[in-house]
Structure 1
Amino acid sequence: MDQGGTERVWPVSEPQGQQDQFDVIAMGRIGVDLYPLQTGVPLAEVESFGKFLGGSATNVAVAAARLGRRTAVITRTGADPFGTYLHQALREFGVDDRWVTEVAGLPTPVTFCEIFPPDDFPLYFYRQPKAPDLEIRPDELDLQAVRAARVFWMTGTGLSEQPSRDATLTALAARDRAGLTVFDLDWRPTFWKKGAWKKGAWKKGAWNEEPRPYYEQALAHATVAVGNLEECEIATGARDPLDAARKLLDRGVELAVVKQGPKGVLALNSKGESAEVPPVPVEVVNGLGAGDAFGGALCHGLLAGWELERIMRYANAAGAIVASRLACSSAMPYPHEVEAVL
């Protein structure tokens, strides 16, 4: 039995004797989000901004920490004041920053957005000449800690460029499908070497480095895959939600989660169980970060051993709460807030 009095339904391998074991270790992006404090106006007309901790993998760690989980991130920042700010913010959120290191000569990434509720939130990434979080190197990794974590969370962005790609695949191989290994499909075409990408129409040969082979390598080590329809298409070639989920299972994962936007979320597992739940209706303020809240809540529910539909409803509720707020990291909900929505 696990917390909440429910029986485990996921075969979680939990190494014994690990004094420093984390519930969740997330590996991937970090940066500073500068979000406008005025909504419904273009960036050129915004007069003031709020500064927040950002980056998808980092936000997932924050979301899980808010739900009571012990979390850490593996990432890199610039050796600059924004990097200092990110360390401070991580500690304030209760996320361990021991594996957040500096890269000399590369600035900490900054991301701006425009806010046009309910469904238009353009992002502007400043990650030039290269983001420090893509400079994670295999020889820097604490592979013992990666293996011991109850959940290891990695992202598609981590596969987009070297040496991050090798580091990500090294971590996955060392983990060897222990515990819960989550692949956030996280497709950001602007982070890959440029090619002819059109929304909803990935073509073989369109990229200098094709993403799908690297996605397939990562899937071979993952036990859980999470993505929206475009991300599932990149990983599997299928855009239909049910077909995409089945193809993810065919590639060896035990749980496939397909986010369908206004149609809700579909989940299938290797035991033949399925759950399809609608979104939670909210007045959207900023949709950015909702997926990261979903991810942190997904980790929490899996670790708690809840049944599949309960996990999906809980994760949907967490995402909806963040969509109803301006920020990402600081908007992540506490358990009582999710329960109130449910």
Structure 2
Amino acid sequence: MFDLITMGRCGVDIYPLQTGVSLVHVESFGKFLGGSPTNVAVAAARHGLRPAVVTAVGADPFGEWVRQAIRGFGVDDVFVGTVEGPPTPVTFCEIFPPDHFPIYFYRGEHPPDLRITPESLDLDAIRRTPVFWFTGTGLSQEPSRSAHAAALAARTAPSGWTVFDLDYRPMLWESREAAEREYRRALPHANVAVGNLDEVEIAVGTRDPEAAAQALLDAGMEVAIVKMGPDGVLARSGKEHVVAEPVQVEVVNGLGAGDAFGGAVCLGLVRGWSLERTVRFANAAGAHVAARLACAEAMPTTGEVLALLEGRPATTAGEAAPGPQSEVRP
């Protein structure tokens, strides 16, 4: 049995190895595992959890590389499908620290991870996992939308934590109104929601952190987590109200920090931590990744997060070997 199953995007991230310049002037790139829910699973594996990811790749070399990378990071690929026709998605970005990281998605009109069908799902595994993590992007097209509905229906009986990562990428939706509609349909099937100010506004119509957290609780969440950027994180449950300040690091690349945060949240849920402990730990996990170029390769171990929280040097003794990475030059 898995501790965690995530569902949604995967692909290849092509990150520039020169920062502070436009792609026009970049001379070399690194190839990394990409896709938010896939990297949440990687982050969870680094903490010793047993994760699997439900996604799909193209029948191409990048697809095979993604499978190898997933396995290399200790994530089970048993639920990773292969789709003939569309290529495995590739994503480029520009890196302008500390807070500007434009993303350019090359996903085509109907990428493999949005072609997951209800029939392809192991609903029993989804039903039994302690944490099921899904994202807003997976609701953007059929048949992925119906597959998510089937997965969420399997979670209707009390079966642990169902986390809705509000993950809103406007360029991947036909319209904002469509996203708002699908988010509000999905909310009643989750009991944890995680999102930044833009994303909670899509879900509940307000970007005021306190009002958004309350609206999420009113919608049935047991835990509402609102990421406020430089102002930290606001988290609410029926018993706890937490405002956690960000952990200060020199930011190299903010992309991937949210995935590290998500993997740490999953750890807290599985271990039964208090909301305050979970959020403060997740903040530090995100900061660890923000201080590095890569995403999946930079996901911290539990010891590295604790070291950052305690202000002491991290130790790498006994850590798992990093997963596949390669450098490509144009």
Q: TM-score, normalised by structure 1?
A: 0.89
Question: 1:108-166 CA distances to partner (integer Å, 9 max, x unpaired)?
Answer: 00000001100010000000132110001011100000001110000000000111011
Alignment of 1:288-303 (within 5 A): 288-303=255-270
Task: Specify the alignment match of 1:190 in structure 2.
Answer: 171
- Identity in percent: 64
Write the deviation string for residues 160-188 of structure 1: whole angstroms up to 9, x where unpaired. 01110110111001111520100000011
- Equivalent residue letter for 2:299: M
SS of equivalent to 2:77: strand
Describe the SS at the equivalent of 1:96: coil
Residue 179 (1) aligns with residue 147 (2): no
Residue ranges of structure 1 left out of the alignment (5+ in a row) = 1-20, 198-206
Which residue does the alignment assign to 1:264? 232
* 1:296, distance to aligned residue in structure 2 (A): 0.2
Where do 1:232-243 residues align within 5 Å?
Answer: 232-243=200-211
For the residues of structure 2 that align with 1:113 and 1:80, how far apart are their CA atoms?
22
Paired residue for 1:7? none
d(CA) in 1 for partners of 2:95, 2:180: 31
Match of 1:27 in 2: 7
2:316 aligns with none
Q: Give the paired residue count.
A: 308
Amino acid at match of 1:213: R
The CA distance in 2 between the partners of 1:59 and 1:118, in whole Å, is: 21
Runs of 4+ in 1 over 2 A off after TM superposition: none
Say which SS state the counterpart of residue 272 (structure 1) adopts. Answer: coil
Helix, strand or coil at the partner of 2:185: helix
How far is 1:306 from its partner? Answer: 1.2
Distance (whole Å) between structure 1 residues aligned to residue 215 and residue 95 of structure 2:
35
State the secondary structure of the residue aligned to 2:6.
Answer: strand
- Give the counterpart letter for 1:227 in structure 2: G
**Cα distance in structure 1, aligned partners of 2:109 and 2:173:** 13
**Counterparts in 2 of 1:321-332, with a 5 A limit?**
321-332=288-299
Q: 1:14-50: CA deviations, max 9, x gaps?
A: xxxxxxx111100000000000011111001111100
Partner-residue secondary structure (3-state), 1:285: coil
In structure 2, what is the Cα distance between the partners aligned to 1:129 and 1:94? 31
2:190 alignment partner in structure 1: 222
Deviation string 1:193-238 (CA, Å, 9 cap, x unpaired) is 1x4x6xxxxxxxxx4xx22221122111101000000100000001
One-letter amino acid of the counterpart of residue 239, structure 1: R
Hey, what's the Cα distance between the residues in 1 that align with 2:232 and 2:264?
15
C-alpha distance after superposition, 1:261-289 (max 9, x if no partner): 000000001x2311110000000000000
**Whole-Å separation in 1 of the counterparts to 2:299 and 2:284:** 11
Matched residue SS, 1:124: strand
CA–CA separation in structure 1 for the residues paired with 2:160 and 2:75: 20
**1:287 to 2:254 alignment:** yes
Inter-partner Cα distance in structure 1 for 2:103 and 2:226:
22
1:122 equivalenced with 2:102 (yes/no): yes
Partner of 2:322: none
